């Protein structure tokens, strides 16, 4: 059986789903192909269930202020019930998601896709083999967990973040969280709030590679310590043994850690197995990412690659942004280019952390003149009223032009507030756009305005940010 479409999307995670929906909304005849669970990692085993648990964790953490607020009682976490709750949320979202695709007349195909030509895809499913033809294809096959040696997955004992959500969590209070990236930093806190005793093992300082400022990391470490979550740095792992009594981890310096089960937050690798990339001359880099241009095209111009399979950022945010750009380029002649630095990066841990754009070092490397505007939440009426005065807004502007180079928001609702830094028509006018806006009071968002005004005043950028007649 052969079918022809304007656009074929391989993978139904956030990037693939967004590409299919946007393509259909803009008039394309779209087919989306999924070889595993609809919704990909983000919906089934990533950001959606994790954010569900994070909300519970924050509710539990808030009780440290109950007495002062005149609230009586205590809260405790139940991980088993939390698992059930996220499962119900995921099922609801998945049903809505598939219903919307059907409403948009996007054709859904179950099976494993293999590219056999620039405009031809072979799909092998339980009902046999189907050939799909499409003028354009978007590869959005995501990534899979890395399980580093000497760890090996073992049901109920050694889990990846994928298998954590496959079935109810193991028994046992003592959990080792392995890794220093976003996932480990988030789960070490979330599982602690949900009642587990955490041993957090890292080989490097947590989040040290993400560009967050020293002030941001200091705030995070302080809040983690207050929650009794502390990373323990080890040089490596010598051996891992598991049995009926639990898991024993031996570090390469001889330290031994005994826990009931282990959660690996040790990164992910692009999922390209069986795609047939090599047959079409589509290359991958040394880390396995599909190689693409700034317009997100592979070496086959009508085939695009988006999200975790092609971008080292490996966030749903980047996949969604990639999807928008890929569809725009399919319809508009490949005019748009991606700069992943300006897609929000958010961490949900003992304090929310969000950033986008450059840091000072990167700006200087590009021969720009960075200037910093700062506003702390410790004097925000809204933050004080929420008992969450930790954190700040930190903006980086260009001293010559007043353009927004980057921004960082640390504290409550940071993951929501960061969007205000990405909505202006362009980065050249972003700070002016913020400065001339109108704001609710009292609100955390006001600190973005305060940081903008501080930057303008401190670095004599009033004219660039506020316009002529507002100072030099």
Widest CA span in the chain: 75
Q: Yes or no: say if 213 and 296 are a contact pair by the CB < 8 Å rule.
A: no
pLDDT for position 466:
87
Q: Which long-range contacts (CB under 8 A, 24 or more apart) does 153-157 make?
A: 154/242, 156/261, 157/242, 157/246, 157/247, 157/261, 157/262
Q: What one-character-per-residue DSSP string does 153-179 give? A: -BTTTEEEHHHHTTSPPPS-SEEEEE-
Cα distance between residue 150 and residue 305, in whole Å: 32
Q: Give the distance, in angstroms, between the CA of residue 229 and the centroid of all CA atoms in the same chain.
A: 22
Q: Yes or no: say if 406 and 357 are a contact pair by the CB < 8 Å rule.
A: yes
pLDDT for position 464:
87
The residue that leads in pLDDT, 2 or 157, is: 157
The residue that leads in pLDDT, 126 or 116, is: 116
Q: Residue ranges of the alpha helices (H) in 161-296?
A: 161-164, 182-193, 214-226
Residue 471: pLDDT band (50, 70, 90) is very low
Provide the token pair at 467: 């316009």
pLDDT in tens, 51-94: 999 999 999 999 999 999 999 999 999 999 999 999 999 999 99
Cα distance between residue 300 and residue 119, in whole Å: 10
Element (H, E) at 407: strand 404-410
Cα distance between residue 87 and residue 52, in whole Å: 10
**What domains are defined for the chain?**
2-145+269-341 (3.50.50.60), 158-266 (3.50.50.60), 351-466 (3.30.390.30)
Neighbours of 187 (CB within 10 A): 28
Neighbours of 84 (CB within 10 A): 12
Residues above pLDDT 90, as percent of the chain:
95
pLDDT in tens, 331-371: 999 999 999 999 999 999 999 999 999 999 999 999 999 99
pLDDT in tens, 366-413: 999 999 999 999 999 999 999 999 999 999 999 999 999 999 999 999
Q: Yes or no: say if 219 and 391 are a contact pair by the CB < 8 Å rule.
A: yes
Residues 6 or more apart whose Cβ sits within 8 Å of residue 93: 39, 43, 48
Residue 460: pLDDT band (50, 70, 90) is confident
Cα distance between residue 454 and residue 338, in whole Å: 30
Q: By CB neighbour count within 10 A (0-12 exposed, 13-18 middle, 19+ buried), where does 279 fall?
A: exposed
Task: Say whether pLDDT at 470 is over 60.
Answer: no
Task: Say whether pLDDT at 472 is over 50.
Answer: no
pLDDT in tens, 153-192: 999 999 999 999 999 999 999 999 999 999 999 999 999 9
Provide the token pair at 381: 């009426």
Three-state DSSP state, 123? strand
Cα distance between residue 463 and residue 309, in whole Å: 44
The verdict on whether omega for the bond into residue 442 sits within 30 degrees of 0, i.e. cis, is: yes
Residue 127: pLDDT band (50, 70, 90) is confident
Task: Say whether pLDDT at 106 is over 70.
Answer: yes
Structure-token match 């937050």, residue found: 265
Residue 3: pLDDT band (50, 70, 90) is low
pLDDT for position 2:
57
Residue 4: pLDDT band (50, 70, 90) is confident
Neighbours of 335 (CB within 10 A): 9
**189 vs 55, 200, 223, 452, 455, CA distance in Å?**
12, 10, 10, 32, 34
Q: What are phi and psi of 34, to 5 degrees?
A: -135, 125
Of 5, 85, 242, 441, catalytic: 441
Residues 6 or more apart whose Cβ sits within 8 Å of residue 321: 338, 340, 343
Residue 137: strand pairing partners: 8, 303
pLDDT for position 467:
81
pLDDT in tens, 420-457: 999 998 999 999 999 999 999 999 999 999 999 999 99
Q: Is 87 a catalytic residue?
A: no
pLDDT in tens, 185-218: 999 999 999 999 999 999 999 999 999 999 999 9
Q: How high does pLDDT run on average in the chain? A: 96
Q: What are phi and psi of 29, to 5 degrees?
A: -85, 115
pTM value is 0.95
Segment 90-115 mean pLDDT: 97
Residues above pLDDT 70, as percent of the chain:
98
Q: By CB neighbour count within 10 A (0-12 exposed, 13-18 middle, 19+ buried), where does 295 fall?
A: middle
Provide the token pair at 225: 């310590």
Cα distance between residue 289 and residue 275, in whole Å: 13
């Amino acid at each position: 059986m052969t079918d022809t479409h304007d656009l074929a999307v391989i993978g139904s995670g956030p990037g693939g789903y967004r590409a299919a929906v946007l393509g259909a909304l803009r008039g394309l005849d779209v087919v989306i192909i999924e070889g595993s669970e609809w919704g990909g990692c983000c919906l089934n085993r990533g950001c959606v269930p994790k954010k569900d648990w994070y909300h519970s964790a924050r509710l539990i953490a808030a009780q440290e202020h109950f007495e002062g607020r005149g609230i009586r009682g205590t809260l405790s976490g139940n991980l088993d019930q939390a698992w059930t709750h996220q499962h119900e949320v995921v099922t609801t979202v998945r049903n809505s998601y598939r219903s919307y695709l059907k409403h948009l007349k996007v054709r859904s195909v179950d099976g494993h896709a293999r590219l056999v030509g620039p405009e031809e895809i072979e799909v092998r499913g339980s009902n046999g083999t189907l050939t799909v033809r499409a003028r354009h294809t978007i590869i959005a096959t995501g990534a899979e967990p890395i399980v580093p040696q000497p760890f090996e997955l073992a049901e109920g004992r050694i889990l990846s973040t994928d298998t954590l959500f496959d079935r109810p969590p193991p028994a046992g209070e003592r959990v080792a969280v392995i890794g220093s990236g976003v996932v480990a930093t988030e789960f070490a806190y979330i599982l602690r709030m949900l009642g587990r005793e955490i041993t957090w093992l890292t080989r490097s300082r947590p989040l040290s590679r993400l560009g967050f400022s020293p002030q941001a990391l200091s705030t995070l470490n302080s809040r983690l310590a207050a929650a009794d979550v502390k990373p323990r740095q080890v040089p490596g792992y010598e051996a891992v043994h598991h049995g009926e009594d639990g898991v024993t981890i031996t570090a390469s310096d001889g330290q031994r850690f005994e826990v009931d089960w282990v959660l690996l937050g040790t990164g992910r690798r692009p999922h390209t197995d069986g795609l047939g990339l090599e047959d079409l001359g589509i290359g991958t880099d040394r880390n396995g990412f599909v190689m693409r241009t700034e317009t997100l095209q592979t070496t086959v111009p009508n085939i695009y690659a988006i999200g975790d399979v092609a971008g080292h950022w490996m966030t749903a945010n980047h996949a969604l942004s990639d999807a928008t750009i890929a569809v725009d380029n399919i319809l508009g002649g490949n005019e748009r280019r991606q700069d992943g630095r300006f897609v929000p990066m958010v961490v949900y841990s003992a304090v929310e952390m969000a950033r986008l754009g450059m840091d000072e070092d990167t700006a200087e490397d590009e021969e720009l003149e960075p200037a910093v505007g700062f506003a702390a939440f410790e004097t925000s009426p809204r933050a004080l009223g929420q008992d969450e005065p930790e954190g700040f807004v930190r903006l980086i502007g260009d001293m010559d032009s007043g353009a927004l180079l980057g921004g960082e928001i640390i504290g409550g609702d940071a993951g929501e507030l960061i969007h205000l830094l990405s909505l202006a028509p362009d980065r050249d006018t972003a700070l002016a756009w913020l400065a001339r806006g109108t704001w609710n009071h009292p609100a955390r968002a006001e600190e973005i305005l305060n940081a903008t005004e501080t930057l303008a005043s401190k670095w004599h950028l009033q004219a660039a940010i506020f316009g002529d007649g507002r100072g030099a």
